[in-house]
A and B are shown apart, each in its own frame.
Chain A
Amino acid sequence: DAKTTQPTSMDCAEGRAANLPCNHSTISGNEYVYWYRQIHSQGPQYIIHGLKNNETNEMASLIITEDRKSSTLILPHATLRDTAVYYCIVNMDSWGKLQFGAGTQVVVTP
């Protein structure tokens, strides 16, 4: 299963875009890139996923490099409620289990 590397933490100013990087250099051709977040001790929340193309939904945008070895999650206008741990996951196996790493602790400040 492909492993991911994310920064341990990052700060973002409220109202600004937050760009969260993720490296997944060993990703295989049929693995998707998923992003989840966890606010305090709540259940993880799905954000977005993609295979090759960039994706956008109401929460965020996902930019995947052409070689698929890295990706960036973009929160276009960060709010205080976006403070959370963000997980980049690319090792989804045939049964769909998610293998979480440590993620990136994002703190949005006023």
Chain B
Amino acid sequence: EPEVTQTPSHQVTQMGQEVILRCVPISNHLYFYWYRQILGQKVEFLVSFYNNEISEKSEIFDDQFSVERPDGSNFTLKIRSTKLEDSAMYFCAYPGLAGAGPGDNEQFFGPGTRLTVL
């Protein structure tokens, strides 16, 4: 199974601060996703990223959120001004076949970053 790493594993921040969560997958993936899971709740889709552009975003993904692929390999999720309700596990994911489209294709998830906003 392909590996994806996420850093940091745990981030504690004060409300109103900016945080950047990073994901490093195997290279050459065109599709990429971010999900979040508030403690005790279901996993929620945030945004999908295709060929360096946002292809779809949920209503959760408001102006406080942004995604980038700054150096061609890492993917980042930035929250500009964190709120208490942003406390959650954040997972990145990508399709199993490099360059393949979605549909008949599994997604591999990273281990997640636990974000705690105080």
Contact = CB atoms under 8 A, between A and B. Distances in A.
A92 interface: yes
Interface string B95-113: 1100001111111111110
Q: Which of the listed residues A34, A41, A46, A96 has the most CB atoms from chain B within 10 Å of its own CB?
A: A96
A95 B50 contact: yes
Contact of B102 (A44, A51, A94, A103): A94
Nearest to A103: B42
B103 A99 contact: no
Interface string A34-47: 10001001111110
Nearest to A45: B109
Contact of A96 (B37, B105, B111, B114): B105
Given A44-B93, A94-B102, 5 more contacts: A41-B89, A44-B109, A46-B96, A46-B107, A100-B43
